Amino acid sequence: MSIVTGNISYKDFSVVDVFCGVGGLTHGFVLEDFKVDAGIDFDESCKFAFEKNNNTKFVHQDITTLSSRKLRTYFDKSKRKILVGCAPCQPFSIYNNKKEKDKNKKGTDKKWQLLYSFAKLIAEVKPDIISMENVPRLVSFNKGKVFKDFISTLEKTGYHVSWQIVNAQDYGVPQRRRRLILLGSKLGEIQLVGKTIVDKKFKTVKDAIGHLPKVEDGIPHPSDPLHRARKLSELSKKRIQAMKEGGFWREWDKELWLKCHKKKSGKEFRSVYGRMKWKDVSPTITTYCIGLNNGRFGHPEQDRAITLREAALLQSFPEKYQFIDPDDTFKSQMIARQIGNAVPVNLGIAIAKSIKKHIAEVG
């Protein structure tokens, strides 16, 4: 039953994104015409891309030190509140800098401290609507205790809660990426919108990056410095040349094998040293997505790993999304981390559409 009185629309809401990174989730809300008033993240390197592409404020702060009073100041005071976020499962915070014995004080739940901090802020600030995106393992970690604690906090605070594990490929992301999406609302029942891709007509690697100009490994494209692939060693170049589209290291001559490949336990390692397929979605884009030896990140036909631009497109960032701060030194691994950690933009759009639909229903 809705507790809303009077008509409301999504325009009546102010959005704040906690753990915003370079803005994948925020950009989904921006593209759905929501007003995002701030993004908060401990990783200050994300500031340029977040602000440049989303025309809003980046706040550099560790959520474990963020008070509810301070968080309230980031919302537009004249509007209702929506709080969204993707709490990292491996906290990138001041907690990582403490001594090992201090890390263990709260036992196995310690790695999820940011999620508990997120729940505490929700309980204190009481936004009308919340969203949380995370890894599917959260549901079963420590017999589900952390996840149950999170939901319990929300329900005690008066939220209607729904959650499901989805594959981003079902929402127009050209990538296999399973994620947990949770939605909560004080206004009434809320659900994630249904799959936007029907009949398994997924957006493919070819659809996402097939139009980009060819580049050699180690040489950026002159008109797009983000379209650059890591320089390969001579041995790595021989290895990728020995693979066809969609292939992996088992296609190499044995003199190209690594020591681990020669062991019985290594014969099934299909997730490294592989090429993508044009007519399929990509594997999950990780923070190490530009390394040939870190996954199946080989280009389908060019003899190199994927470029940073290709990784961003496979995360469904628009092609014009800017990641490189002209006033800072270019750091490819830093940008790869930013891209790999991001919520895919099209998944952000699905979350924003769900909230917009919910507001229309209860308003």
pLDDT, average across residues 291-311: 94
Q: What pLDDT sits at residue 165?
A: 98
As a whole number, mean pLDDT of residues 165-186 equals 98
For residue 158, which of 128, 114, 181 has the smallest C-alpha distance?
A: 128
Q: Note the pLDDT of residue 101.
A: 40
Only one residue has tokens 């999620």, namely: 115
Handedness of CA 139, 145, 149, 152 (dihedral sign): positive
Catalytic residue among 20, 89, 260, 289: 89
> What integer pLDDT is reported at residue 220 of this predicted model?
95
Which of 86-90, 106-110, 288-292, 311-315 has the highest average model confidence (pLDDT)? 311-315
197-256 pLDDT, tens digit each:
999 999 999 999 999 999 999 999 999 999 999 999 998 898 889 899 988 776 775 666
Pairwise CA distance, residues 360 & 8, whole Å: 8
Q: What is the pLDDT of residue 255?
A: 60
Residue 176 above 90 pLDDT?
yes
pLDDT tens digits, 106-153: 445 566 789 999 999 999 999 999 999 999 999 998 889 999 999 999
User: 65-106 pLDDT, tens per residue?
Assistant: 999 999 999 999 999 999 999 987 653 333 333 433 444 444
Residue 92 structure tokens? 């990138």
Task: Give every CB contact of residue 2 below 8 A, 6+ residues apart in sequence.
Answer: 187, 188, 362
Q: In which band, very low, low, confident or very high, does the pLDDT at 269 lie, cut at 50, 70 and 90?
A: low
Question: What local confidence, expressed as pLDDT, does residue 104 receive?
Answer: 43
**pLDDT for the residue numbered 113:** 87
Candidate from 72-86, 158-172, 251-265 with smallest mean pLDDT: 251-265
Other Cβ atoms within 10 Å of 329 Cβ, number: 6
**Sheet with 13-18: strands ordered across:** 57-60, 35-41, 13-18, 80-85, 129-134, 178-185, 160-167
Higher pLDDT, 269 or 244: 244
Distance CA 87, CA 116 (A): 9
Using an 8 Å Cβ cutoff, are 240 and 230 in contact? no
Provide the pLDDT for residue 90. 55
Domain limits of the chain? 10-199+343-362
8 A C-beta contact, residue 8 and residue 186: no
CA distance 231 to 223: 19
pLDDT at 299: 97
Query: Between residues 267 and 249, which one has the greater pLDDT?
Result: 249
- Which distant-in-sequence residues (6+ apart) come within 8 Å of 58 by Cβ? 20, 38, 39, 40, 41, 46, 47, 50, 51
Contacts 24+ apart (CB under 8 A), 235-244: 236/292, 236/293, 237/303, 239/273, 239/292, 240/273, 240/275, 240/292, 240/298, 240/303, 240/304, 240/305, 241/303, 243/273, 243/274, 243/275, 243/298, 244/275
Q: What is the per-residue DSSP string for 226-267?
A: TS-BPPPPHHHHHHHHT--TT-BGGGS-GGG--GGGGSGGGT
Q: Is 89 assigned a catalytic role?
A: yes
In the predicted model, what is the mean pLDDT of the chain?
89
* Tokens, residue 158: 């008066």
pTM (2 decimals)? 0.91
Fold topology of 10-199+343-362: Rossmann fold (3.40.50)
